[in-house]
Amino acid sequence: MKNRLKAIIWDFDGTIADTHGIHAKTEAETLKKYGIKISESEIIKRFSGVKLNVIFKTLFEENNAKGNHMQACEIKWRMMNKIISKNIPKYMPGVKNLFNECKKQNIKMAIASSSIRDYLDLAIKKMKIENYFEIIISGDDVKNSKPDPEIFLKAIKCLKLKPSQCLIIEDGTVGVIAAQNAKIKCIAVGDHIDKSILKKTSVHTDTLEKVNLDFINKLF
């Protein structure tokens, strides 16, 4: 019997919320305090979807920077929370329509984000979207960062579903690789994706405005 879509697992930053630019800016500003110069565009290109402690550890080592990378992470998250407290994140194009379709057709939804719990809860609350989701998994809830599939496998376990019944929506290369490692179908969104890594289980679109449940169900 052919599997039927029962749940969509979403990345958050850059997939649901238009927050990549804010993340990159606060990260570049924080790193500058430690003598590390990196552009916002390079941060997005290299590290979209990667846990912040992994990003900063990598860059501290590459630049032989003095200081504690975990302390730098705390500075960045304080900056981010301050910004989000004053500004409601905007939806990425097409997201709200897909949310409403899923709600009407009883498709479960979850978030699996590499961001920390405090920030994630704050951003979701500000957007008033918490009621859309069965579960929300943050980077604090897993040991390994994407492209390890741990966060997606945990989401599936919490949803009590099989990988073949779920779809992941991601905007980062490492997130798409994590989905493929978990053997879950994936829609890769946007222009930050390295399309050379895409396997048969993944499809690419430049915007979710082109995606609805009819489109998704054809993948199953």
Q: Which of 166, 170, 178, 177 is CA-nearest to residue 216?
A: 166
- Strand, helix or coil for residue 188: strand
Of 1.10.3470, 3.40.1000, 1.10.150, 2.60.40, which CATH number belongs to 20-86?
Answer: 1.10.150
What token pair was written down for 35? 């003598």
**CB neighbour list of residue 25: distance below 8 Å, 6 or more residues apart:** 40
Angle at 15 between CA 33 and CA 120, to 5 degrees: 60
Provide the whole-model pTM. Answer: 0.93
Q: What is the CATH number of domain 7-18+89-217?
A: 3.40.50.1000
Structural element, H or E, at residue 110: strand 108-112
- Write the pLDDT tens digit of every residue in 65-111: 999 999 999 999 999 999 999 999 999 999 999 999 999 999 999 99
- Write the pLDDT tens digit of every residue in 118-164: 999 999 999 999 999 999 999 999 999 999 999 999 999 999 999 99
pLDDT value at 192 more than 90: no
The residue extents of the domains of the chain are 7-18+89-217, 20-86
Asked if domains 7-18+89-217 and 20-86 share a fold, the reply is: no
